């Protein structure tokens, strides 16, 4: 059975740095607003505390390319624009700073697993 998937790149922070930024948001030391440019979703982070070097934390961000279902992507976007005004923790692994979609396609889970295995094998070699 065929399903719709999407290939996206997400820019993330590890759990430690994501929780730190969220604590700064809760304490009003920083705030942010979501930004959408076509299909590219990101945050503008605004520093309210001159003693805080937020750029040092943001330098530790990194990008991950993933394939997820369209439904999961739509849920991710809805969470990204959440009303809590906090960074979202994705799969308890990392906090998302940016979402950039690339390609949508239809296939089945068997082909997705084959693609993942092939990619892993090429990375190992």
- pLDDT of 101 reads 95
| Alpha-carbon separation of residue 86 from 25, 46, 55, 95 (angstroms) | 7, 13, 17, 10
- pLDDT of 63 reads 93
Which residues are CB-contacts of 105 (< 8 A; sequence separation ≥ 6)? Answer: 4, 5, 6, 7
Nearest to 6 by CA among 91, 65, 87: 65
Overall number of domains in the chain: 1
Q: What is the per-residue burial (b if ≥16 Cβ within 10 Å, else e) of 10-49? A: bbbbeeebbeebbebbeeeebebeeeeeeeebbbebeeee
Centre a 10 Å sphere on the Cβ of residue 83 and count the other Cβ atoms it contains. Answer: 5
Rounded Cα distance, 108 and 4, in Å: 8
- Domain limits at 113? 3-124
- pLDDT of 54 reads 86
- pLDDT of 125 reads 63
> pTM for this structure?
0.86
- pLDDT of 83 reads 67
Query: How large is the C-alpha radius of gyration of the chain?
Result: 16
Centre a 10 Å sphere on the Cβ of residue 93 and count the other Cβ atoms it contains. Answer: 11
- pLDDT of 14 reads 93
Please report, in tens digits, the pLDDT of each residue of the chain (125 residues total): 778 999 999 999 999 999 999 999 999 899 888 888 888 999 888 888 888 888 888 899 999 999 999 999 999 999 888 867 889 898 888 999 999 999 999 998 888 888 878 777 766 76
- pLDDT of 105 reads 92
Centre a 10 Å sphere on the Cβ of residue 6 and count the other Cβ atoms it contains. Answer: 19
- pLDDT of 6 reads 94
């Amino acid at each position: 059975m065929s399903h719709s998937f999407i290939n996206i790149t997400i820019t993330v922070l590890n759990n430690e740095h994501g929780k730190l930024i969220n604590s700064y948001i809760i304490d009003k030391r920083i705030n942010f607003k979501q930004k959408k440019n076509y299909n590219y979703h990101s945050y503008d982070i605004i520093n309210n505390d001159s003693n805080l070097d937020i750029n040092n934390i943001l330098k530790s961000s990194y990008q991950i390319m993933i394939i997820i279902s369209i439904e999961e992507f739509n849920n991710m976007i809805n969470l990204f624009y959440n009303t809590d005004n906090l960074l979202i923790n994705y799969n308890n692994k990392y906090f998302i700073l940016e979402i950039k979609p690339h390609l949508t396609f239809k296939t089945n889970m068997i082909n997705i697993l084959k693609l993942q295995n092939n990619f892993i094998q090429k990375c190992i070699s």
